[in-house]
Amino acid sequence: MEKNKNKYDFILELIESKKLKSYQKEKVLKLALIELQKDPIKNDDIIKRIERLEQKLDLKIKEKEGNDSNSNTSKLLEYKSPKDLYKFLQDYNQDPILKYTCHEIDDIDIINDINKKCNTNQYSLIKHQNLILTSFKKLTKKHVINKNVYSLIEKYINGGDGIDWSSDKIKTNWKSTELSIWSNDNPSVPPNIGINLQNYFKKRGPNIKPFKSKLTNERVNTFSKLVLHFKHMFHIKADNTLKKLLEIQNDKSGWNEKIEFKINNNNFWENIELFTDIDKLIQAYRKIIMMILEASNEKPIVKLGFKEEGNHVIFSIHHKNTVFKKTSKNIINRLGEQHISLIKNQINGLCDLYLIADFGHNHYAKINLWNDQERTETLIDTFEGVKHNLIFNK
């Protein structure tokens, strides 16, 4: 009997644990019912415990049946934590070998260190390439990695000829034949040397087929610049601020004429460092802006924010002069196609998504559109407009 009590108490602890996600608690409930029903001793206490578990499970099922959000998003998607992406990209950037696929090599000591790890006295591109790939495989075994990010990076370091690896349709990568040809003509010199080593070796790195970055608008025409471009795809920092990236998108899309943007230094911090998939972030921004334009009957006033709160970075897109076109219950029960597309193709695994809005009729609320919990609303006293909060974990 004591054994059953301990087992039951353990099950309740799991169910009530905040560390378990809702779908994990449901699995625990189902397994617990099976386990307790197997028990040969069916006294009143055990029967009551089974009934309590059945009630909990039945309530869970009813909640899911009554909440259409689970049918049109959660059942289609498995939640991916943004922490996984951040931790992987952070570790990639700090790895002693992989970091120099996203930074220039600008110190002779770095070359010596690479040579030592390659067991050679003179720099060898082939041995360096193999070391990069080995380091990447080792790192990926430690992390849960978004398949799109994995594919992009793997092609960048190991793609070979003729393979596009980004939205800019870039074919040059660490295994390109053009790199090998250059290396044969320039032995002992890494292809991504910075200005100091260019002066030291009296050489420049290899030129590549030039392109203009869709993210930064910068022209990339050398392999060293390509390496920096790769870094800018995953690292927001002082020399690659989100503010600058958004202003490029606004200008390129002609949105400055259609929207009154408000960005102030108090609410938009330019000194934040964040490892994330910037291409997906910009895609999400573009989709939300398009949603704003489609929903507007007058010129939208949009306030943009970017700040840290504890271990989170919050990017907010606040449409000030509007009211949400659905009730809070409508959007909790069933997301529209635009939000489903946004979550499926950009948000999931990138960040969590919250909606704070004036729903009309003096009803104001905050709704978790996408995180690891079922959608619910938190009522607030008052709010102006409609705000999407993209919340990144660090």
Q: Is the pLDDT of residue 379 over 80?
A: yes
Provide the residue ranges of all domains of the chain, joining segments of one domain with +.
2-66, 103-233, 238-393
Task: Give the separation between CA 163 and CA 151, rounded to whole angstroms.
Answer: 11
pLDDT of residue 160: 85
Enter the pTM of the model.
Answer: 0.80
Query: What is the chain's length?
Result: 394
HEC profile for the chain? Answer: CHHHHHHHHHHHHHHHCCCCCHHHHHHHHHHHHHHHHHCCCCCHHHHHHHHHHHHHHHHHHHHHHHCCHHHHHHCCCCCCCHHHHHHHHHHHHHCCCHHHHCCCECCHHHHHHHHHHCCCCCCCHHHHHHHHHHHHHHHHCCCCCCHHHHHHHHHHHHCCCCCCCCCCCCCCCCCCHHHHHHHHHCCCCCCCECHHHHHHHCCCCCEEEEEECCCCCCEEEEHHHHHHHHHHCCEEECCECHHHHHHHHHHHCCHHHHCEEECCCCCECCCCCEECCHHHHHHHHHHHHHHHHHHCCCCCEEEEEEEEECCEEEEEEEECCCCCCCCHHHHHHCCCHHHHHHHHHHHCCCCEEEEEEECCCCCEEEEEEECCCCCCEEECCCCCCEEEEEEEEC
- pLDDT tens across 50-104, in order? 556 655 555 554 444 444 444 455 555 889 999 999 999 999 999 999 999 999 9
* More confidently predicted of 48 and 24: 24
Instruction: Determine the average pLDDT of the residues in 355-372.
Output: 96
Q: How confident is the model at residue 197 (pLDDT cuts 50, 70, 90)?
A: very high
Which of 303, 302, 245, 248 is closest to 274 using CA atoms?
A: 245
Q: Is the pLDDT of residue 387 over 50?
A: yes
pLDDT of residue 162: 76
Count CB-CB contacts under 10 A for residue 41: 9
Cα atoms in the Cβ-side hemisphere of radius 13 Å centred on 71: 11
Which of 342, 350, 353, 383 is closest to 365 using CA atoms?
A: 383
Window from 62-76, 186-200, 341-355 with minimum mean pLDDT = 62-76
pLDDT of residue 64: 47
* More confidently predicted of 261 and 31: 261
- pLDDT tens across 295-342, in order? 999 999 999 999 999 999 999 999 999 999 999 999 999 999 999 999
pLDDT of residue 70: 45
pLDDT of residue 84: 95
- pLDDT tens across 200-255, in order? 999 999 999 999 999 999 999 999 999 999 999 999 999 999 999 999 999 999 99
Q: How confident is the model at residue 264 (pLDDT cuts 50, 70, 90)?
A: confident
Q: Which CATH class is domain 238-393?
A: alpha beta
* More confidently predicted of 110 and 144: 110
Instruction: Determine the average pLDDT of the residues in 273-284.
Output: 96
